[in-house]
Structure 1
Amino acid sequence: MSNNSSTDEPRQPFFYSFGSAKDRRNQYTFMATCLVWAISFTMANSLLREHTELTRPLFIFLLAAPSLLGIGTLFAYRRFLQQTDELQRKIQTDAAGVALAAYLLLATGHTLLESAGHQAPQTMDLFTPVVLIWSAAQIYGAWRYR
């Protein structure tokens, strides 16, 4: 039987979305909360650096808001993982494992640079490569299994 028969569903690109409508909704919710979290962190970080004389309530808000949004993001990701199919869960957990390993390697290298007396990158400088590695690992997993 041919893979291109008219009864077969067309194969979607790996970067599209996975699973059922519920999976897509959960995935998009997670992605949206990631975006909101990143924007809130960037704005709070910028305001805290530029304005040293903030009122106490605003200072507390700028510290707490990104953290609370981050917790919401973690819950959205947890819901996505709990309600998705086993293959998508495997792709996600494999990618998270690769990202964790990358973080550990970068963090230990960071510590060694500091111990050697060199100017090491800021802790947040580790965040971007880890997120990129996590994303690349998800794309690779989706490409590999789909």
Structure 2
Amino acid sequence: MKTVTVNIVTPDGPVYDSEVTMVIAKTTSGEIGVLAGHIPMVAPLAIGAVKLKKEDGSTELVAVSGGFIEVRPEKISILAPSAEAATDIDLTRAKEALTRAEGRIQKKQDSIDFQRAELALKRALNRINVREGNM
């Protein structure tokens, strides 16, 4: 099966750079699957996991907190505000972030804090799910 180069980059630097057979990502309009030779496109990403299928049949997961995916026939680039490979996620820290976000949501002090807490909750849940492989 043909492969395509995938780069996942954040403002802090590269997170992933390898050859894969398929990329599955959650965009703001739904989930997409991309193979080598796909027509060019750009799409905004939602908070979610990027699944990277390797030639040997294994799958790697990377948690992204939004951003964009740019697809070209020979290369896929993902630009995200933050991204972590499943193996790099500190599960204890992610669970602590989840607890903090849940506490802020229960307070509901004002709409801005509520929206920020909701986003923090989604990011924490995403990181936990990616780390535990529940995607």
**TM-score above 0.5, yes or no:** no
Higher RCO structure (Cα 8 Å, ≥6 apart): 1
Q: Hey, which of these two has a bigger chunk of strand by percent?
A: 2
**What TM-score, normalized by structure 1, do the two folds share?**
0.29
Q: Hey, which of these two has a bigger chunk of helix by percent?
A: 1
Which protein is bigger by CA-based radius of gyration? 1
